[in-house]
Amino acid sequence: MNYTTRSHVVRYAETDQMQFVHHSNYLKYFEMARLEWLSSLGISYAAMEKNGILMPVVSAELNFKKPLFFGDELSVRVGLKKPPMATLEFNYQILNQSDEEICTGGTVLAFLSAEKNRPMRCPKFLLDKFN
């Protein structure tokens, strides 16, 4: 199961002195893609947190291919690496307006009970959405 975000235009504030998008922003693009995809499936982070389900990022990997610049358009392809268990493992591919690969990467999010502050299994409603 995969999803491609709507187009996003690089803002000046996202660039560094070299006029490249600063590397820290790529994790924000990953998060934006995750949230947009989950929202398209009818899944709300805010509602999950309100119900005591937290999903902290426990691992992140980025591989840069080409830079993005102010004014460039980007989209993010996001997918699940495997069915969720106690973690959700996402992979990402960032593309520019010419459909060139800019960055690839992955994140691992753990399911955490806010009440117990302990790991938990993927909630059934999420499993149902991803199956």
CATH architecture entry for 2-130: Roll (3.10)
16 is catalytic: yes
pLDDT at 130: 81
Going from the C-alpha of 51 to that of each of 46, 113, 116, 117, the distances in angstroms are 9, 9, 13, 13
Structure tokens at 75: 């989209």
- Phi, psi at 87, each rounded to 5°: -135, 160
Q: Could you state, in order of their start, the residue ranges of all structural domains in the chain?
A: 2-130
Separation between Cα atoms, residue 98 and residue 50, nearest integer Å: 40
Residue by residue, pLDDT tens for the chain (131 residues) are 789 999 999 999 999 999 999 999 999 999 999 999 999 999 998 999 999 999 999 999 999 999 999 999 999 999 999 999 999 999 999 999 999 999 999 999 999 999 999 999 999 988 888 87
- Phi, psi at 15, each rounded to 5°: -100, 165
